[in-house]
Amino acid sequence: MLANVTEKSYAAEARYTNFYAGGDIAWSADGQHLYCLNGASVNQVSVQTSQILQSFGVASNSSSTTEKKKAAASAEDIDVEEDTITCFGVSQEHLVTAHRSGLLRLWQLATGTLVKLWKAQHKGPVIRIEFSPCGRLICTSGGADATLRLWDYSNNSCLGALKDFPGPAWFIVFHPNVLRKEIYAVGADNTIYGWNYGTKTLLHKMRGHLSQVTGLSFRSKELDCNELVTVSRDKVLIVWQLQEQVESKQLKVLPLYEELEGVVYGDDGRQIIVASGVGKLRQVDTTSWKIKDLLSQADFQISRLLHCGELKQLALVTTEQNILIYDAGTLEPLKHLVGYNDEILDMCFMGDNDRYLAVATNSKHFKLYDTENDMNCKLIVGHSDTVMSLAASQNLLISVGKDCSIRLWRLQHDKNRSLEALTEQTNCHTSTIGCVAMTHNGATGFASVSQDGSMKVWQLARDKQDRDLYSFNLRYAALSHDKEVNCVAYAPNNKLLATASQDKTAKVWLAESNSLQGVLRGHTRGVWSVRFSPVDQIVLTSSSDCTLRLWSISNFACIKRFDQECTILRAEFLDHGKFILSAASDGLLKLWNIKTSTCLQSLDEHDDRVWALAVSGRSNRFFYTGGADSKLIRFEDVTQVTRNEALDQRQATLEQEQTLHSLLHAQKQLHKAFVLALNLDRPKASYDIINHFVRERDENGLRQLVDQLNVDQRVALLQHVKAWTTNSRHSQVGNLILRHLIGDALHDPKARFYNNGNMVEVLTPYVQRHFKRVTELNKELAFLEFIVQCM
């Protein structure tokens, strides 16, 4: 048994899942965390590692039982089973979430527990919520009414409602200075309104924008700060001077000719940084009012601009839920977090020691992760449509996709996570290029296959004069299959090519020419992937007929078959061809031993189809998987760890068995021996100990023996009773223990655990049979006694 467990074993070491699905996003004051809205939860994400630290929401409520009862009592008639979050706000210590049901929930950031729950009292769901700078007040805006409500959550009271504006307010900002009790909101007429929430009087009304206001920032946190800047989708930036009268003064109006999505003051108020929706970042000098272009990302659309004053960093949030973090002074990219991956279609390793992982998602941009630097990521821009497949050899990478183009990239060692575009060719196929494969042991060529059934083999050349120049030329093209070609792969010696298609076949070709060597027939449905063994003359295929098959290259006959429950989308060889890793449409990964044809392990980490597998060719000790559930998971080889744990457990078990044997032999410390027998699952030993008390007629000792047991040990004792009652000789002891256990359970309504695994139903027939046997025996004894008395 130990050999089977430790033969080969993998475990999920890290999971990179979606944490941001659009909507509200906030940056902590220290810059260490991002708070991202993701459906029915708000995720606290570490900026350094991109991992979710904790989640806040109805489903992830980790509050105590008492707090849950209080929350339920305060919202008796509200169904919170599916209560999505519409918006949230963050302070130094708390996070408040507004739900579609009209509830507001206050969470403790340090512990992740629910502190308070109350009704927002707005018409319709809350669409905007903000904390005051001191963190003691909360302002909410409803989606169907023209009111702002102020809440003092510590005193469980609503301080009042502000109604002097046409609602709803999609933008709410408190004055950054705590002493100035002012709050600003943007009404439905695109006018900025300012109130003193202490006296509930309207102080300011700023008219000037013609479209939705998307950003508002104060120049400083000083008490006398009366200058603020606003931007809007009307392509105009306005700097305002707050005055004593209601109508405020416009200090400067700058047309920027692009829809603006965010604005912040930088460099202690000497600069204004503006983000436009088309991906541009601009700087405005507040003295000369000169405009300077800082960053131009033509392929990204920016939806939000965040600023961390503590670290002096900027974060751009794109419409594809990517978060790009830059140094505010130098605009040097520092970090890239992927909030939403969509479907992961393909991935491959590249670079020295497989340091970088290239990942193609359902997007025209693919991602390059640095696996040795907290999975820091960079978007690689170039394709005009979805990237379908990636292939790499050392520092070179080929990308193909739905735009029918092939692009060649090279890793730049002087820049982290950077790929240099070397060359490209468009219209390489007449339909979507579904897969590409590069030669092994140095990139000398590659092959691409398409949905039109064609295969093309390309020669990759390097310029002799300028070693930095690469080019690729078509060597030959062939109509390889009658239907869509799903996969292509090179043999380890680069002399053979294999293709897999929806026409239920896989084919082996000579790589130097389009000479067909053999057809692998046998699958009853489409073939999804094909791979050559790194050590043997065999080919591996996976199919929609739920099978893996191994084929001999010499005669193209099927030599082995492995059955799974559903479509097998990908399969790879592991550990120098000794094992097979398969990925199926149900999200299950299976590890197979080729020699014994047995499944060693099933890894259930994905929730949907697994499209991509990337096995590290350098060490074979880890691999990454990705699929339709958007999860990117790293699996580590834990064979040695599992083996050591099994050996340690076996050694501990032997030591306990030796201790149990010694205690039983010496007839000492029977209470300790009884607990050991239960922990080691030794029904005979536990029976002998109880039988000893029965023979000694020690009722009190037997009661103490049972009373010392905890819940798990009592359940284990019931399992032993089940084993005893199968033999009539042991029924007396078994029924005696049942009387103690079930008798206690009748007095304790919480003791439902006794029926674990329907134990009562299992024991009932045995007890009834023994009771019937004892009853018959009593009748016979009574009859014999009657005969003796009559004689």
Instruction: Give the number of other CB atoms < 10 A from CB of residue 484.
Output: 17
Q: Is 399 helix (H, G, I), strand (E, B) or coil?
A: strand
User: Which of 25-29, 104-108, 240-244 is predicted with the least confidence, judged by mean pLDDT?
Assistant: 240-244
Q: Is the pLDDT of residue 64 over 60?
A: no
Q: What is the pLDDT of residue 560?
A: 93
pLDDT at res. 298? 67
Could you report the per-residue pLDDT of 254-299, keeping only the tens digit for each? Answer: 999 999 999 999 888 899 999 998 889 999 999 999 999 988 876 7
With vertex at residue 631, the alpha carbon angle to CA 620 and CA 541, rounded to the nearest 5 degrees, is 50
* Chain centre to alpha carbon of residue 618: 26
How many Cβ atoms are within 10 Å of 43's Cβ, its own excluded?
25
**Counting runs of H as helices and runs of E as strands, what totals does the chain give?**
9, 56
In the numeric block, the tokens 């930088």 are attached to 266
> For 388-402, how does the pLDDT look when each residue is reduced to its tens digit (9 = 90+)?
999 998 889 999 999
Q: Which pLDDT score, from 0 to 100, does residue 47 have?
A: 92
Range from 170-184, 715-729, 750-764 carrying the lowest mean pLDDT = 750-764
At residue 74 the predicted structure's pLDDT band, cuts being 50, 70 and 90, is very low
The pLDDT of residue 753: 52
**Percentage of residues in the chain with pLDDT exceeding 70?**
91
The answer for residues whose C-beta is within 8 angstroms of residue 699's C-beta and 6 or more apart is none
Other residues' Cβ atoms within 10 Å of the Cβ of residue 144: 11
Q: Which residues of 642-672 are buried (b: 16+ CB within 10 A; e: fewer)?
A: bbeebeeeeeeeeeeeeebeebbeeeeebee
More confident site: 361 or 731: 361
CA-to-CA separations, 350 to 118, 166, 407, 410, 628, in angstroms, rounded: 53, 56, 16, 10, 23
Neighbour-count burial of 748, counting CB atoms closer than 10 A to its CB (0-12 exposed, 13-18 middle, 19+ buried): exposed
Q: CA-to-CA distance for 3 and 449, rounded, in angstroms?
A: 42
φ, ψ dihedrals at 720, nearest 5°: -65, -40
Q: What is the predicted pLDDT for the residue at 66?
A: 39
Regarding beta strands 271-276 and 280-285, do their DSSP bridges make them parallel or antiparallel, or are they unpaired? antiparallel
Distance of alpha carbon 581 from alpha carbon 584, whole angstroms: 10
Calpha distance 671→709 (Å, rounded): 10
Tokens of 90: 């963050």
- Res. 746 pLDDT band, cuts 50 70 90: low
3-state per-residue secondary structure call for 409-465:
EEECCCCCCCEEEEEEECCCCCCCEEEEEECCCCCCEEEEEECCCEEEEEEEEECCC
The whole-angstrom separation of Cα 148 and Cα 188 is 13
Residue 78 pLDDT exceeds 60: no
The torsion angle over the Cα atoms of residues 175, 87, 256 and 314, rounded to 10 degrees, is 80
How far is residue 217's CA from residue 663's CA, in Å, rounded to a whole number?
A: 76
Confidence grade of residue 223 (pLDDT, cut at 50, 70, 90):
confident
Predicted local distance difference test score (pLDDT) of residue 76: 39
The DSSP symbol for 143 reads: S
Strand partners, 516: 509
Confidence class of residue 766 from pLDDT cuts 50, 70 and 90?
low
Pick the CATH number of 214-313 from 1.10.3470, 2.40.10, 2.60.40, 3.40.50: 2.40.10
What percent of the residues of the chain are helix, what percent strand, and what percent coil, each to the nearest 5? 20, 45, 40
Percent of the chain at pLDDT above 90? 51
Instruction: Domain ranges for the chain, please list them.
Output: 214-313, 344-637, 684-786
CB 485, CB 454: distance < 8 Å: yes
C-alpha–C-alpha distance, residues 298 and 555, integer Å: 54
Average pLDDT, integer, range 677-686: 81
Comparing 65 with 161, the larger pLDDT belongs to 161
Between CA 672 and CA 678, with CA 675 as vertex, the angle to 5 degrees is 150
Query: Could you give the CA distance from residue 491 to residue 77 in angstroms, rounded to a whole number?
Result: 65
| pLDDT over threshold 50, residue 63 | no
Report which of 173, 159, 119, 128 is spatially closest to residue 146, judged by C-alpha positions.
128
Q: What is the mean pLDDT of the chain?
A: 86
DSSP string across 107-127: EETTT--EEEEEE---SS-EE
Cα-based angle 7, 8, 12 (whole degrees, multiple of 5): 150
Contact 476, 448 (CB under 8 A): no
| pLDDT given at position 754 | 55
Q: Which of 402, 390, 387, 477 is nearest to 432 (CA)?
A: 402
Q: Which residues, at least 6 apart from 691, have a Cβ–Cβ distance to it below 8 Å? A: 733
Cα–Cα distance between 308 and 322 in angstroms, integer? 17
Q: Report residue 778: phi and psi, to 5°.
A: -65, -40
Q: How confident is the model at residue 745 (pLDDT cuts 50, 70, 90)?
A: low
d(CA 4, CA 420): 47
What pLDDT, on a 0 to 100 scale, did the predictor assign at position 772? 78
State residue 775's pLDDT score. Answer: 82
The residue assigned the tokens 């130097």 is 512
Query: How far is the C-alpha of 95 from the C-alpha of 87, rounded, in Å?
Result: 11
Q: Given this model, what pLDDT does residue 260 score?
A: 94
* pLDDT: which is higher, 197 or 774: 197
Name the helix (H) or strand (E) containing 367: strand 366-370
- DSSP code at position 701: H
**Rounded to whole angstroms, how far apart are CA atoms 23 and 39?**
9
Cα 502 to Cα 525: distance, rounded to the nearest angstrom: 7
* Confidence check: pLDDT of 359 > 90: yes
CB 125 within 8 A of CB 99: yes
Residues in the chain: 791
pLDDT of residue 598: 92
Q: Are strands 227-232 and 213-218 parallel, antiparallel or unpaired?
A: antiparallel
> Which tens digit of pLDDT belongs to each residue from 160-193?
899 878 878 889 999 999 999 999 999 889 999 9
Quote the CA–CA distance of 758 and 754 in Å, as a whole number: 9
b/e map 155-181, b = 16+ CB within 10 Å: eeeeebbbeebebbbbbbbbbbbeebe
Note whether 525 and 483 are within 8 A (CB): no
Q: Is the pTM of this model over 0.75?
A: yes
Name every residue whose Cβ is closer than 8 Å to that of residue 519 and which is 6 or more positions away in sequence.
Answer: 505, 506, 507, 508, 556
Residue 777 has a CB neighbour count (10 Å cut-off) of 10
- Order the strands of the 137-142 sheet from edge to edge: 126-131, 137-142, 148-152, 157-162
Q: How far apart are the first and last CA of the chain?
A: 65
User: Looking at residue 374, what is its pLDDT?
Assistant: 83
Question: Is 256 exposed, middle or buried, given 0-12, 13-18 or 19+ CB atoms closer than 10 A?
Answer: middle
DSSP string spanning 201-232? EEEEEE---SS-EEEEEES-SSTT--EEEEEE
Hey, is 706 helix, strand or coil?
Answer: helix
Distances (CA, A) of 22 to 88, 379, 417: 13, 18, 25
Q: Radius of gyration over alpha carbons of the chain, in Å?
A: 35
Q: What is the mean pLDDT of residues 655-674?
A: 77
Asked if 60 contacts 77 with a C-beta cutoff of 8 angstroms, the reply is no
Query: What pLDDT, in 10s, does the model give residues 527-548?
Result: 999 999 999 999 999 999 999 9
Q: Give the CATH class of 344-637.
A: mainly beta
